[in-house]
C-alpha cells in the first residue's frame, strides 16, 4: 500500500503510527485530524513536515470535507483512530463521545463505502477499513475469569466504552451488509511518549514531578493490561497489511498490573531519576480518592490470535517501557508545556478539586 488515510494521527497512538510509517516505509500518510484539545502536532516530530505526510484538519463528522479528502488523496486503506478517548471525560460529558465515536464513525464508513464502491479490480479487493478499538468494549472481568478473546460478548460500562462498542457494531454491520472489507483491533491500555496527561501514567509522572498528590481511585486495586504504544503501532501496521478481511484481532501486553503497582513503579523510577527535594520517596504523595463511577475492576487480553496468525510480539516489558516513558517526559518539558493549556487546567479542577479537597 502506498497511500493510507489515518484518522486521529495527531493524537497519542495515531502519531506513533504516523511516525513509524514515515520513518520505516515509503507509505504516504493522509492524516485526518480535527486537532482537538488532546492533539499535538509536536508529537509527529520529523514526520510533520515530511513530503509523504499530508495533514488534513477535518472533523470526521463533516461528510463533505471527508468526501473531498477521499477524492483528492485516493487512499488505498483507512486506519481509523480518531475518537474521544478518555473514560473520566465521558462521565462528565457523554455527548461528545456519541458525536465523534458513533456519528463520526458512521460518517467515515459511509464516505469510505461510496469511495470503495467506485474502485475496481485489485484496488477494490485490496482496500481495507481498519477500525481501531479498545478492550473496554468487553466490560468488567472478575479476578479469576479468563482474559478477553475476540469472541467475548460485549458488555461496556462507561459512556466511552459504550460509544466504542457502538462503533465496532457499525463497522461489522457495514462488512456484513455492504461487503466493506474491514478489520477490527481491540487493544488494552497503552502508555508511552506523547500521551496526554489526563490518563493514569502521564498524570502520575507529571504530578510527581510537580510535587502534587498522586490520586488513585478507590483502593488502587483495579487491574489493567499495559502495552507500550510503539508495540501497538507495529501491531496495527501488521494487521492492516496482513490481517484477514472481516477478522478481529485482540492486542495486549500480557502485563496485568494493579494501578497501585503501576504507580509504585513510577515512583521508584522517579526516586532514582528525579528524587524529591525533601529526600522522601515519591510514594509519599499517593492519595486514595473517591472512586470512578462504574469503575471496571479488571481488563485482560488474550492476544494469542495475532501472535499465532501474524507473528506479532511486544518488544517492551512494562518495566522497560515505563522507564523509557518517564525519561521521555523528563527530556521533553517543552511538549509538556504545550499541552498544559487553560483547557487542561480546567480539567484538573473539574475531575480532581473535590476529590483532593482536604
Ligand atoms: P487521543 O485522544 O490521544 O487522540 C485522538 C485523536 O483524534 C486526537 O488527535 C483528536 O484531535 C482526534 N479527534 C478527536 N475527535 C475527532 C473528530 N471528530 N474528527 C477528527 N479527529 C478527531 O487518543 P488515543 O489514545 O491516541 O486513541 C486512539 C484510538 O485508539 C481511539 O480510537 C481509542 O479508542 C483507541 N484506543 C486507545 C487506547 C489507549 O490506551 N489510549 C487503547 C485501546 C484503543
Ligand atoms: P485511564 O488511564 O483513565 O485508562 P482507562 O480508564 O481507559 O483504563 O485509567 C487507568 C486506570 O487508572 C483506571 O483503573 C482508573 C485509574 N486512575 C486513577 O486511579 N487515578 C487517576 O487519576 C486516573 C486518571 C486513572
Q: In whole numbers, what is the pLDDT of the chain averaged over residues?
A: 97
Domain membership flag for residue 181: yes
- 356 C-alpha vs ligand 1 centroid, how far in Å? 28
- Closest ligand 1 atom to residue 35 Cα is 11
What pLDDT sits at residue 345? 85
Contact between 222 and 259 (Cβ < 8 Å): yes
CA distances from 272 to 191, 200, 267, 323, 336 (A): 20, 20, 9, 11, 21
Domain of residue 86, residue span: 3-194+226-256+297-317
- What order of strands is seen across the sheet that includes strand 256-258? 189-191, 223-228, 256-258
**Atom 29 in ligand 1: residue holding the nearest Cα:** 81
Sign of CA dihedral 217, 221, 225, 228: positive
Contact between 55 and 34 (Cβ < 8 Å): no
82-126 tens-digit pLDDT: 999 999 999 999 999 999 999 999 999 999 999 999 999 999 999
Domain membership flag for residue 328: no
Q: Select from 13, 217, 226 the residue to mutate for testing ligand 2; criterion: most ligand atoms less than 8 Å from CB.
A: 217
What pLDDT sits at residue 342? 77
Predicted TM-score of the model (pTM): 0.98
Q: Which ligand is nearest to the CA of 56?
A: 1
Domain membership flag for residue 343: no
31-68 tens-digit pLDDT: 999 999 999 999 999 999 999 999 999 999 999 999 99
Domain membership flag for residue 81: yes
Domain membership flag for residue 271: no
- Residue 193, ligand 1, Cβ within 6 A: no
Domain membership flag for residue 74: yes
Lowest mean pLDDT among 38-42, 55-59, 163-167, 219-223: 38-42
Domain membership flag for residue 355: no
7 has pLDDT over 90: yes
Sign of CA dihedral 117, 118, 121, 125: negative
Measure the CA dihedral 328/329/334/340, to 10°. Answer: 150
The tally of domains found in the chain comes to 1
CATH of residue 128's domain is 3.40.50.720
Strands 223-228 and 256-258: antiparallel
3-class DSSP state of 29: strand
Q: Select from 16, 18, 36, 296 the residue to mutate for testing ligand 1; criterion: most ligand atoms less than 8 Å from CB.
A: 36
Q: CA-CA distance, 65 to 58, in Å (whole number)? A: 7
**Atom 33 in ligand 1: residue holding the nearest Cα:** 85
Q: Is 323 exposed, middle or buried (0-12, 13-18, 19+ CB in 10 A)?
A: middle
Q: Is 117 exposed, middle or buried (0-12, 13-18, 19+ CB in 10 A)?
A: exposed
- Residue 204, ligand 2, Cβ within 6 A: no
210 has pLDDT over 80: yes
Domain membership flag for residue 280: no
- Residue 38, ligand 1, Cβ within 6 A: yes
Amino acid at each position: 500500500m502506498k497511500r493510507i488515510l489515518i484518522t486521529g494521527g495527531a493524537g497519542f497512538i495515531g502519531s506513533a503510527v504516523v511516525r513509524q510509517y514515515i520513518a520505516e516505509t515509503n507509505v504516504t500518510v493522509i492524516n485526518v485530524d480535527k486537532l482537538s484539545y488532546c492533539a499535538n502536532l509536536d508529537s509527529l516530530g520529523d514526520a510533520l513536515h515530511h513530503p509523504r505526510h499530508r495533514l488534513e484538519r477535518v472533523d470526521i463528522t463533516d461528510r463533505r470535507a471527508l468526501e473531498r479528502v477521499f477524492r483528492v488523496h485516493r487512499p488505498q486503506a483507512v486506519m481509523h483512530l480518531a475518537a474521544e478517548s478518555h473514560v473520566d471525560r465521558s462521565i462528565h460529558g457523554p455527548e461528545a463521545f456519541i458525536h465523534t465515536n458513533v456519528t463520526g464513525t458512521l460518517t467515515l464508513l459511509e464516505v469510505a463505502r461510496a469511495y470503495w464502491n467506485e474502485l475496481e479490480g485489485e484496488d477494490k479487493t485490496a482496500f481495507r477499513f481498519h477500525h481501531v478499538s479498545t478492550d473496554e468494549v468487553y466490560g468488567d472481568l472478575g479476578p479469576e475469569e479468563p482474559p478477553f478473546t475476540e469472541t467475548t460478548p460485549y458488555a461496556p460500562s462507561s459512556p466511552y466504552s459504550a460509544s466504542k462498542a457502538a462503533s465496532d457494531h457499525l463497522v461489522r454491520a457495514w462488512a456484513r451488509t455492504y461487503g466493506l472489507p474491514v478489520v477490527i483491533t481491540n487493544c488494552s491500555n497503552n502508555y508511552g511518549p506523547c500521551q496526554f496527561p489526563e490518563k493514569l501514567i502521564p498524570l502520575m509522572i507529571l504530578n510527581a514531578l510537580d510535587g502534587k498528590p498522586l490520586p488513585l481511585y478507590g483502593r488502587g486495586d483495579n487491574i489493567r493490561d499495559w502495552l507500550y504504544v510503539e508495540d501497538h503501532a507495529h501491531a496495527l501496521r501488521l494487521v492492516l497489511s496482513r490481517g484477514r478481511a472481516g477478522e478481529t484481532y485482540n492486542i495486549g501486553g500480557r502485563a496485568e498490573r494493579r494501578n497501585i503497582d503501576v504507580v509504585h513503579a513510577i515512583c521508584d523510577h522517579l526516586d532514582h531519576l528525579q528524587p524529591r527535594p525533601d529526600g522522601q520517596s515519591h510514594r509519599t504523595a499517593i492519595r486514595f480518592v473517591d472512586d470512578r463511577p462504574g469503575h471496571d475492576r479488571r481488563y485482560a487480553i488474550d492476544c494469542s490470535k495475532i501472535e499465532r496468525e501474524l507473528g506479532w510480539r511486544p518488544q517492551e516489558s512494562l518495566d522497560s517501557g515505563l522507564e523509557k516513558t518517564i525519561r521521555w517526559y523528563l527530556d521533553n518539558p517543552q511538549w509538556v508545556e504545550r499541552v498544559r493549556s487553560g483547557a487542561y487546567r480546567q480539567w484538573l479542577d473539574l475531575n480532581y478539586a473535590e476529590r483532593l479537597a482536604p
